[in-house]
Structure formats: structure tokens, C-alpha cells
Amino acid sequence: MSEYISPSSGASGQAAATAVAHNARVWNYWLGGKNYYPVDQQVGDHVLGMFPTIAEVARADRAFLSRAVTYLTGRVGIRQFLDIGTGLPTVDNTHEVAQRIAPESRIVYVDNDPTVLVHARALLTSSPEGATDYIDADAHDPETILRGAARTLDFDRPVAVMMLGILNFVLETDKAKSIVEQVMAAVPSGSYLVLTHPTFEVGGEGGAEMMRFWNENATPPITGRDSSQIADFFEGLELVEPGIVPCSRWRPEQSADESENEVAEFGVVGRKP
């Protein structure tokens, strides 16, 4: 388990950070990473007990990220990514997937978790031909995000806006929709929205109970949404086939076992016409 100091400074900042489980660190624990505190492991294990497929959800989400970025870079020709709710660095971060195909790709990462900020250096390892940047900002504040991203991204050229596992932390659906609208209004035709979002429609009864436990014991609070609410986020965009599906079912690789599993998290890609 790694040790780190909260950039919010001092012993009290660190004490606060270690007292409550944070999503970025628990997600890292489920993905098999090393950047979490004992409290994150305890909550992560409890959730695993309640909802044993949660680690599979996290892995399927990352595999979806990789397939979606590969599709957008390789098939569509996208060279700019705005990745909001980045998470702690892990294998196959967005810039690594994109720059393997197109080294000139430019990627801006955004998260508001102090632990992600501490580890952001690992996201700033761009190829010389491309660029990466990191913005410490809250998804509820798209204006700040867009202003910061404009230092690296050209908003006259298409951008893939990545919102993977982030709108579920914007509890009011109207607010979540307005964030999507504000960001997608800033990018030109030919841009894309890439989304993953937990749902109770898949994965059985345990999802709602698991989220209740999370909201009482961890931060930030989370919500699931159904497919009609997800469809609403894509209003005015063209859904890329196969549309709104569990993220493990979005263009799975032929031989992958995951193509047979449904996880309780939708994965969707849409194009701005």
C-alpha cells in the first residue's frame, strides 16, 4: 500500500483524507492498484461482499475506455480528449491508448480528488508529438474546466468528451444534464460524448442497497440511473452502435469472455452531428 500526503496539506489534511473512504482510491483498490488507505480497503471489501461483481464492473469500465478510445482514435480520427473524472492513474490511461495509435493526440484530464492530484504526474507523460494536462476541478463547474482545457485543446476541432463513472456523482439529473449540455455546446460538430454510468437495470437487486451503504460510509455520494435517463444525456447526439448497453457489451473484442457478461454499468458513445 503506498503512502502519500494530501496536498490539502499538513497532518490534519491527511487525517481527514484517511478517515473516510474516497471513490478514486476505492476504485483503484477494486482495479488491483496500490493507492488506497485502510479505510478504502475496508469499505471496498464490504461493498464486494454486498455486490460481488463490483470489481468486474471496474475492470469492464476500463476495458470499455480502451476500446472506445481505440475506436475514436483509430477509426474516427479523433486527436483530442477531455477526460472528466479521470481517476487515479492505472494501466491504459486515455493518453496511452490514444497516443499508441496517434502520438500527436492531446489529452486533458480533470478530477477533484486530492489523491488524484498527487499522482497526476503519471498522467503527464505525453509523447513529444502530443500533449497532456491535468486540471484540478469539480465536474459541477464546467466553465472552469473548459477554460483550463482551452490551454491544451483546440475547440475548433473535434474533441471526445470522456465522462466515465462521473455523472453518477452529480446527484441531480437536471444538473448532470446541464453539465453535459454545457460541455458539448463548447465542442464542434464531429465531437463525441463517451459515458459510463452505473444502473440498477442490470445486475440484480443488490445495486441500490450497495449504493445506500456507500452513501452512508464513503464519499462522494453516488446514484444509479436507468437507460431512459442515460438516453436523455445524449439528446441531440447520434448514438454509435450498439447504443446504450452494459459497457462490457459495447463492441467487445471477439474472443473476450467479458462479451458474455453484463455488468451493472452502461457504456455509451454518441457523436455531435
- Residues interacting with ligand SAM, by CB under 6 A? 23-24, 27, 61-62, 65, 85-87, 111-113, 116, 138-140, 164-166, 169, 196, 220
Query: Residue 43 Cβ, how far from ligand SAM at the closest point, in Å?
Result: 14
If the CB atoms of residues 104 and 261 are measured against ligand SAM, the closer one turns out to be 261
What letter would DSSP give residue 248? G
Using the 8-state DSSP alphabet, how is residue 203 labeled? S
Least Å distance, CB 26 to ligand SAM, is 8
Q: Which helix (H) or strand (E) holds 266?
A: strand 265-271
Least distance CB 93 / ligand SAM (angstroms): 9
For 82, the grid coordinates are: 477531455
| DSSP 8-state assignment for residue 122 | G
Min dist. Cβ of residue 198 to ligand SAM (A): 9
How far are the Cα atoms of 55, 104, 145, 154, 239 from residue 111, in angstroms, in the given order? 21, 23, 10, 20, 26
Q: Given the complex with ligand SAM, which of 131 and 162 has the nearer CB atom?
A: 162
How many residues does this entry show for the chain?
Answer: 273
Cell numbers representing residue 236 in the block: 441531440
**Closer by beta carbon to ligand SAM, 141 or else 232:** 141
Least CB distance to ligand SAM at residue 220 (A): 5
By beta carbon distance, the residue nearest ligand SAM is 87
Count CB-CB contacts under 10 A for residue 238: 11
Can you tell me the distance from the alpha carbon of 186 to that of 181, in angstroms, rounded to the nearest whole number? 9
- Measured from the CB atom, is 156 or 174 closer to ligand SAM? 174
| Shortest CB 273 distance to ligand SAM, Å | 25
Nearer to ligand SAM, 100 or 104 (CB): 100
Strands 265-271 and 192-198 turn out to be antiparallel
The smaller minimum CB distance to ligand SAM, of residues 125 and 236, is found at: 125
Name the residue type at position 157. R
